[in-house]
Amino acid sequence: MCGIVAVVGKNQAYKYVLEGLKRLEYRGYDSSGIAYFSEKKLNHVKSVGKLNKLIKKISLLDIEPLNKSSLAMGHTRWATHGKVDLNNTHPIISNNKVAVVHNGIIENYKFLKNNLLLDGYAFNSLTDTEVIPHMFYKYLKAGKSFLESGRLILKLLEGAFAFLAISNDNKNEIFVSRKTSPLVIGMGDGFHVVGSDAQSISHMVDKVIYLEDGDYALISDLEVKIFNEKDENVNRRTINVNIDHGLISKEGYRHFMEKEIFEQPSVLINTISSLINENNEIVLDLEKIGIQINKGITICAAGTSYYAAMVGKYWIEKLSGISVNVDLASEYRYRSPVTSSFSSMLVISQSGESIDTLMAMREGKKSNLKTCAIVNVDQSTIDREADHTIYTRVGPEIGVASTKSFTSQLIVLLMLALKLAKKLNKINMKQYLKFVDDIKVLPSTLSKILKLNDKVIDVSQKIKNAKNVLFLGRGNLYPIALEGALKLKEISYIHAEGFAAGEMKHGPIALIEEDLPVIMFLTSDGLEDKAISNLQEAISRGANTILISDKKCINKSQFFTSKIEIPSFDKDFNSIFAPIFMAIPAQLLAYHIARERGTDVDQPRNLAKSVTVE
């Protein structure tokens, strides 16, 4: 989703801004631009498409004045209002005097625009953003200061957003504001920077200030003045960021997604070791999470994180008997949920910035639920606002399609289920220790599963030209069917759907035709015969059926077109672990099909890594 980077007080500011925008590329965008002052004028360059197009355009400019320019502000745009074209690309300019870059949505922009049209302002873009530079221009012309203009504008704006403004009259200042969308200020020596996240500015600074919701600031080379929603001048805590300098590399893999799939065994060691101590205890603090054993837990999340939540419900209810409600975050906030039977809300988010999940968490807080976040990104908004956080610790995930964050979320949820089961005496010490031992060897089991790569490539060859694909699963593998379908559709653009196998005859079976790929995840959980019989109708109608299954049930039926056997990590294969194992072939399959089809695997069309608008 959109990204912002700005620098004030550093020569060659534009270069640092471009580097920062590169670091935000993973979020997804479809155009980019920068604004800067040179030779006393406000200038801007914009380009549609990837950043290298913008960089090329800039390289054709007169470099000397550009090098001398010590203020620059850049933006990567993910289109919401108005199509992808130069007019709608940020920075959005008013009367060659004010430039604005903006993330999020101004919900009342139509009303503001109508007023500005009546005042004689012309609109060159279809963006909601354009009302902001025009209002700045209007207030500055009326004699208001830059800060006062920004303050007045903020009183008029409704929505969730972050924006930066610069003006020709104030060539050493940036007006910065955030309401819901994240923004971080970097503290340099004789200069300051602003970015959408700490990673985007960590090549320039290692001390940052996170603006709080509703904060705005006036930033110059030597000063940062921050104000809260009540217009009080406030101090916010400066913290040290410990983020790898330099761009994260693909380390020889073709795509970040491929790297992130294959690094799961190594990074999941971090997740596991941070949650199991040397005495084999799971170090999750149930009190801090807000769990009361006579009350239920409600979980909110979006996309892949939501599917992790679905598996979590299955595990927590099965192992501990505590009731779990799972909601799509985007639905929760608007559905007037009854919360009296719950004590805590878990929110799951890789980025910690998904607006729907953040807003669901705020709803939970309003209903007096204790909130606990399972996030990957330290200091993300959800992390900072939750009452308690459990980190998945798998490092930056750059590919838009979630992979390692999904398996790490599953591991956290499984450990929570076990902790609860032990506390409620639903499992004995021997069973508990066996689970812990199995979790500890998960990374090496996942390494074995990744060796199925060639087998998955063979299967992907057979389905890469399909127009539709169905994924089926039962029990804790139903969410994996949904996740497999999401992964495939988002990066290969093949239409894919996931279904609970038992639902086939209630409708989806109408879709079955000769050669339609139907992929079934199956594990020995006692339901395998039922699941196979659910598929019999598809087999007899000529579907191209692919079975992904453990050793015990791989030979349950000889009628499958292809089979992928998941290696068990010991004799007593425990089907509880099946979702974690089966996620790997689902990820590999989507990856290889997309790669074969030549799509932009890491930044698929129309998608963003952190969805920070509703």
> Which residues are known to be catalytic?
2, 609
- Quote the CA–CA distance of 273 and 281 in Å, as a whole number: 11
| 128/490 with CB nearer ligand AGP | 490
Cα-trace Rg, the chain:
26
| 339/610 with CB nearer ligand AGP | 610
| 91/484 with CB nearer ligand AGP | 484
Nearest distance, CB of residue 285 and ligand AGP, angstroms: 23
- Whether the CB-CB separation of 470 and 516 falls below 8 Å is answered with yes
Q: Is the peptide bond before 133 cis (omega within 30 degrees of 0)?
A: no
Counting contacts by CB under 6 A, is residue 380 touching ligand AGP? no
Concatenated DSSP letters of 246-296: S----TT-SSHHHHHHHTHHHHHHHHHHHHB-TTS-B---HHHHT--TTSE
Stretch binding ligand AGP (CB under 6 A), from 131-139, 303-311, 470-478, 532-540: 303-311
Counting contacts by CB under 6 A, is residue 129 touching ligand AGP? no
Counting contacts by CB under 6 A, is residue 305 touching ligand AGP? yes
What is the SS3 assignment for 523-555? CCCCCHHHHHHHHHHHHHCCCEEEEEEECCCCC
Counting contacts by CB under 6 A, is residue 401 touching ligand AGP? yes
| 260/550 with CB nearer ligand AGP | 260
Residue type, 124: N
Q: Would the CA dihedral through 563, 569, 571, 577 be positive or negative?
A: negative
Nearest distance, CB of residue 328 and ligand AGP, angstroms: 10
Stretch binding ligand AGP (CB under 6 A), from 249-257, 299-307, 385-393, 585-593: 299-307
- Quote the CA–CA distance of 410 and 307 in Å, as a whole number: 9
Regarding beta strands 31-38 and 41-48, do their DSSP bridges make them parallel or antiparallel, or are they unpaired? antiparallel
- The 10 Å Cβ neighbour count of residue 145 is 13
Counting contacts by CB under 6 A, is residue 490 touching ligand AGP? yes
Q: Which of 198, 299, 302, 463 binds ligand AGP (CB under 6 A)?
A: 302
| 192/595 with CB nearer ligand AGP | 595
Q: H or E segment at 404? A: helix 404-423
Q: Which of 303, 473, 479, 484 binds ligand AGP (CB under 6 A)?
A: 303
Nearest distance, CB of residue 241 and ligand AGP, angstroms: 19
List CB contacts of 425: < 8 A, sequence separation 6 or more.
Answer: none
Nearest distance, CB of residue 305 and ligand AGP, angstroms: 4
| 354/371 with CB nearer ligand AGP | 354
Nearest distance, CB of residue 213 and ligand AGP, angstroms: 18
| Axis crossing angle, helix 404-423 with helix 578-597, rounded to the nearest 10 | 170
Nearest distance, CB of residue 318 and ligand AGP, angstroms: 24
CA dihedral angle for residue 456, residue 457, residue 459, residue 460, rounded to 10 degrees: 110
- Whether the CB-CB separation of 329 and 360 falls below 8 Å is answered with yes
Could you give the string, one character per residue 18-37, with x where binding to ligand AGP holds by CB under 6 A and - elsewhere?
--------------------
Counting contacts by CB under 6 A, is residue 1 touching ligand AGP? no
Counting contacts by CB under 6 A, is residue 408 touching ligand AGP? no
- Whether the CB-CB separation of 176 and 216 falls below 8 Å is answered with yes
Which of 426, 532, 59, 8 is CA-nearest to residue 225?
Answer: 8
| 18/411 with CB nearer ligand AGP | 411
Could you give the string, one character per residue 243-282, with x where binding to ligand AGP holds by CB under 6 A and - elsewhere?
----------------------------------------
- Quote the CA–CA distance of 410 and 342 in Å, as a whole number: 21
Counting contacts by CB under 6 A, is residue 180 touching ligand AGP? no
CB neighbour burial string for 69-97, b if at least 16 within 10 angstroms, e if fewer: bbbbbbbbbbbbebeeeeebbbbbbbbeb
Regarding beta strands 71-77 and 3-8, do their DSSP bridges make them parallel or antiparallel, or are they unpaired? antiparallel
Nearest distance, CB of residue 351 and ligand AGP, angstroms: 3
Question: Which residue of this chain has its Cβ atom nearest to ligand AGP in the complex?
Answer: 303
| 200/304 with CB nearer ligand AGP | 304
Could you give the string, one character per residue 336-365, with x where binding to ligand AGP holds by CB under 6 A and - elsewhere?
-------------xxx--x--x--------
Sheet with 71-77: strands ordered across: 41-48, 31-38, 71-77, 3-8, 192-195, 184-187, 207-210, 238-240
- Whether the CB-CB separation of 360 and 327 falls below 8 Å is answered with yes
- Whether the CB-CB separation of 200 and 3 falls below 8 Å is answered with yes
| 123/493 with CB nearer ligand AGP | 493
Nearest distance, CB of residue 321 and ligand AGP, angstroms: 28
| 173/397 with CB nearer ligand AGP | 397
Counting contacts by CB under 6 A, is residue 612 touching ligand AGP? no
Nearest distance, CB of residue 385 and ligand AGP, angstroms: 14
Counting contacts by CB under 6 A, is residue 402 touching ligand AGP? yes
Counting contacts by CB under 6 A, is residue 304 touching ligand AGP? yes
Nearest distance, CB of residue 605 and ligand AGP, angstroms: 13
Tell the burial category of 65 from Cβ atoms under 10 Å away from its Cβ (0-12, 13-18, 19+). Answer: middle
Nearest distance, CB of residue 494 and ligand AGP, angstroms: 15
Counting contacts by CB under 6 A, is residue 400 touching ligand AGP? yes
Using CB under 6 A as the binding criterion, the count of chain residues that bind ligand AGP stands at 15
| 469/547 with CB nearer ligand AGP | 469
Tokens in use for 308?
Answer: 């992790």
Stretch binding ligand AGP (CB under 6 A), from 253-261, 396-404, 429-437, 589-597: 396-404
Chain residues in the site for ligand AGP (CB under 6 A): 302-305, 349-351, 354, 357, 400-402, 490, 610-611
